[in-house]
Structure 1
Amino acid sequence: MALWRNPQWFDAKKRQEQVDDHIRSTGRARFGIREFDEGKKADAVRVHFDRVAPKYDFMNSLLSFGIQHTWKRAAVRLLGVRPGDKVLDVCGGTGDLAILAGRRTGPTGQVVVYDINHAMIQAGRHKIDPYPDLGHIGYVQGDAERITFPSNSFDCVMVGFGIRNVTHLRQGFSEMIRVLKPGGRFLCLEFSRPTNSVFRGLYDFYSFNIMPALGQLLAGSAESYACLPETIRMFPLPDELSAMLTRLGLRDVQWESMTNGISVAHVGIKRRAVAGLWLLDDDAAPAREHVN
């Protein structure tokens, strides 16, 4: 697509069309402005992250001017990870959130980087494997829509900048809440719509002109770095996401907006009893694949 073409921010009706019911009824799902058969979006996401994985950390730090690390530290503080906690980092990618959580759990805890993309996991292992104090961080390759752990397994579950790439949004969140212990703590850190309209205009120009140009120059793919901001424009706004998480089984859901709303951290606690929550049966989950 032309670098100056801005797909605009979706309205409430269009955002709702990115959620499970509409996708299942139409059999169609979006990844950015591209639309796929429902079952083929996961393949498109895999190809995308296979392509960007080798320079993922470098490009994220460059394109965010390093502020992504501030967002991640603030989000993990909000999650309240404690020594000895067992933590699952869903769509964990190159492991930044897992490392921050692992330093808080200490060696008596356990942190699992869980991601469907092998290339992304491998791209982050140099930040973890050589360091003995991070030896309690492990890796599992698996699908966020069918998390391969038993129910009520983790003290904390977190997802950072990954859930918007999952085909069925509610299904992914339901699975994360399923594996969280009652009373356990949940975090979703994700991009959102800037609150100030002037700042939003500058952000749009940067997203669809500067970012793709740098992506082409430094990573060899303008399309990959236009696709990422496209997906943000389709994601639920903070109040919509808060309502969704509450319906799926969390209580005391709160969010913190960062950098004029570019990034938003939602936190909540799993209710002791979850009535009417649709979850996958443990027996239906496939065997998990450990990444060596």
Structure 2
Amino acid sequence: MYALSEKGERIRAMFGSIAPRYDFLNRLLSLGIDRRWRRFAVGKIGVSGSGKVLDVATGTGDVALEIASQTAPSLEIVGIDFCKEMVDLGKVKVAGSRFAGRISLQVAPCEDIPFPDQTFDAATISFGIRNVVDRPAGLAEMHRVLKGGGRVVILEFSTPTLPVFKQLYHFYFLKVLPKIGGMFSRMSAYQYLPDSVLEFPSRDEFKGMMSQVGFQNVQHFDLTGGIATVYLGVKKAS
């Protein structure tokens, strides 16, 4: 079994501690905009009809459910996450949905995806790649399990490019968000969030990382003034 680094274990434990409030705080702190970002990202997976899609860092299953809502009933969705507490909550959510028969969730890290080569027609990861300690390994694993011609769609927080908007964003992200998060959950977790976003590679650096593991036609789409970014890459057709 894959052994997380000390940093990875700390991150996993942090997410486990905030799991019960995770969905509520996502809606509150993003003013509900995160739903629109997920819909946009899922719209880029490019799978129609039957097939199999992997949702990495699935958390409580929001993206897996969104994939099911946008795709044919014959499409199967598999979600993995390194945090058992998140997966347990996701299983309850999925079981109570109309998509229960199409979605399965299990505990596994991005750096060690427990499926054979060329299993999936597409792969997604939303707000999770910045929490992957060994990002090149995680990206390489997603590339490995994709079929030739399959897409990876990555949704992640970004730093806005417009100066005035960037200043307002940093004030909210660094000063306001941790305090609101701390009212309902662990403040340290919501101090980690802005720190992890600010430490994340630039758009061009991250696209370069995707290209280095084999993804082609790598591009990005900024959302809501650059607060979030969707990255898209394609595995070379066999």
Task: Identify the TM-score tier after normalising by the shorter chain.
Answer: over 0.9
Instruction: Name the TM-score, length of structure 1 as normaliser.
Output: 0.77
- 8 Å contact 1:107–1:135 — kept in the other structure? no
| Aligned amino acid, residue 86 of structure 1 | K
What is the rounded CA distance, in whole Å, between the counterparts of 2:129 and 2:147 in structure 1? Answer: 20
Unaligned runs of 5+ in 1: 1-37, 274-292
- 8 Å contact 2:178–2:191 — kept in the other structure? yes
**Bigger Rg, structure 1 or 2:** 1
SS of the aligned residue for 2:49 comes to coil
Q: Which residue of 2 aligns with 1:227?
A: 192
Q: Which residue of 2 aligns with 1:207?
A: 173
What is the rounded CA distance, in whole Å, between the counterparts of 2:69 and 2:32 in structure 1? Answer: 20
Equivalent residue in structure 2 for 1:69, among 35, 41, 51: 35
Runs ≥4 in structure 1, deviation > 3 angstroms? none
SS of the aligned residue for 2:232 comes to strand
What is the rounded CA distance, in whole Å, between the counterparts of 1:161 and 1:112 in structure 2? Answer: 17
SS of the aligned residue for 2:159 comes to coil
> Identity rate of aligned residues, in percent?
39
- 8 Å contact 2:91–2:105 — kept in the other structure? no
- Deviation string 1:11-59 (CA, Å, 9 cap, x unpaired) is xxxxxxxxxxxxxxxxxxxxxxxxxxx8201110111101110010100
Do residues 82 (structure 1) and 82 (structure 2) align?
A: no
Equivalent residue in structure 1 for 2:60, among 86, 94, 103: 94
Q: Which residue of 2 aligns with 1:118?
A: 84
- Deviation string 1:169-205 (CA, Å, 9 cap, x unpaired) is 1000000000000111110111111111211111111
Closer, same or farther: CA 133–222 of 1 in aligned 2, 3 Å: closer
> How far did residue 73 of structure 1 move?
0.3
> How far did residue 222 of structure 1 move?
1.4
Do residues 157 (structure 1) and 123 (structure 2) align?
A: yes
Instruction: Name the TM-score, length of structure 2 as normaliser.
Output: 0.94
| Aligned amino acid, residue 235 of structure 2 | K
- 8 Å contact 2:65–2:99 — kept in the other structure? no
Aligned length: 235
Unaligned runs of 5+ in 2: none
What is the Cα-based RMSD across aligned positions, in Å? 1.4
- 8 Å contact 1:98–1:113 — kept in the other structure? yes
What is the rounded CA distance, in whole Å, between the counterparts of 1:40 and 1:186 in structure 2? Answer: 28
Closer, same or farther: CA 194–67 of 1 in aligned 2, 3 Å: same
| Aligned amino acid, residue 71 of structure 1 | W
